[in-house]
Structure 1
Amino acid sequence: MIITFPDGNTREFAEGLTGLEIANEISPGLARATLSCSIDGVHSDAFRPIHGDHQVTFYTFKDENGRWAYRHTASHVLAQAVKRLWPETKLAIGPAIENGFYYDFDTPETFSPEDLAKIEAEMAKIEKEDQKIERFELPREEAIAYMDKLGEPYKVELIRDLPADAIISFYRQGDFVDLCAGPHVKSTGVVKNIKLLNVAGAYWRGSEKNKMLQRIYGTAFEKKADLEAYVTALEEAKKRDHNKLGRELELFTTVDIIGQGLPILLPKGARVIQLLQRFVEDEEQKRGYLLTKTPFMAKRELYKISGHWDHYRDGMF
């Protein structure tokens, strides 16, 4: 088969080699660094066989796609660790996101900081086990039966939403299997330097009509130094968080009945705003700005011209 690379060069390889095997024939160093690849522009597992002539691009941790595959696998390691520690847990979704990953869980347990430490320790065990990651596919109805047998109702719901003729993909690592489109790295041993950051609530499928799940956020880096630098940056950012500082300095507070995004300015905060307003007004006057003031209300005809009347007349006060 003829493989074309991003620089336009082509090379012939034996039929059925995986992306990693092709990378190794080019350079063992490239193979060690490769986390995923793309085949004709489609992001794919580097451990899957390639058949026929294609354009292939390899991704390392320096590439966004490489980091995505790395952290996506970290989310599966997280899910596997949680299932080991709390087997009754139901799995929802666990994607890679910018700078990290998360996984949503349905469990009667409320995850504590101590639990996160336990989960991290279990994830470290899974990494050391270096479990091979495999992809397999099933027709829709078989996939539903498979997930139903595993007791994963959220996965069943996701599959039912797919077309009847859809081929459903799964990924297996050791005794853990998850519904997933991929791609992933070749084994759990590839993913190192994982840090779980926090737990938050998340409605299933983003709807408040559905059950509230527990979302564990985490991140993972190829190099320990990069992880440490990232965690340090997060800690420094927390110290400078405007919400934290605003409360500590007694500038503002919030009340649930008004809304968390609608702060109430306390005397100190109101004074700051007052001084800022005076400063701006003085600067405008120095620079020759001429101000005008318009009414807060107007006749109906103005709103008809703007188009607001037809759209909002039933909702205006």
Structure 2
Amino acid sequence: MPLIRARHRLAGLLLALACLPALAAGPTALRVGGDPNYRPYHYLAEDGSPQGFDVAVMSAIARERRLDPRFEFGEWGRMLNRLEHGEVDAVPMFVSEDRALRFRFSRPFLRRHHVLYGRRGQQVGTPDQLAGRRVAVQFGGMAWEWLINEQANAVLRPMNDEAAALVAVAAGNADFALLPSDIAERALAAGDLGDIQPVSPPWLERNYAFGVNPARPELVAELDAGLQAIEASGELARLQQQWLQPAAAKVAKARPLPVWLPVVPVALVLLGGVVFLLRRNAAAGRD
């Protein structure tokens, strides 16, 4: 019996030693790519720190799944190439059939769409109406891919970021800009872009998810589990409220009317009556 107990203790000790590396290992490093100017989803703040809804979502997932996200932002087209070649592990983006051939995807956590923007009075119903027209889009973005696939024969004006497409229209360097409606509306509210407004129905309604390096299929399961956890806890809804809900419009309080203002019309009527009587009396005196 003592020999059996000794063997059991030895087996337990060996098992504990085998588990030590896993216990000692820290969170799994995760390289997350993005665009430095994609407000409010992901961007670099003035101090160079990563900010935005996508950053907050990934950070919440990381707490659930013991991940250590490190954010690397850069030019969008190059960032997609880096993801495809394994230089980054995940990038938040719209889901499309073309992109599904290049990347794996987590479960979606948003549904978004694009809208065409132009000058007041213009209306465009279908992409074929853009033939020969200059359309500003982000290079390598969803709108860029879609217009090429749709063979709209538009003259594409590539921009470094989505909001710059609106500036191109305002400056007369493009006839239209095609970009996500939520980003466009924030940019229009923040800057003086003249009479730029939506000129098409919603286009390109797509899921929004984390694109994943195709060589890391196990990461999809980790992200899905984390997303499911923060959805169930209400954390995802809270982050949407914090980052994506437009700020309530500040309604200017009307100044109270002076207390004497309602008396003015009455006083004017009385004054007019007095003037009329004086003139009539003067006329009677002359007679």
The bucket for the TM-score relative to the shorter chain is under 0.3
Larger radius of gyration: 2
Higher relative contact order (CA 8 A, sep 6+): 2
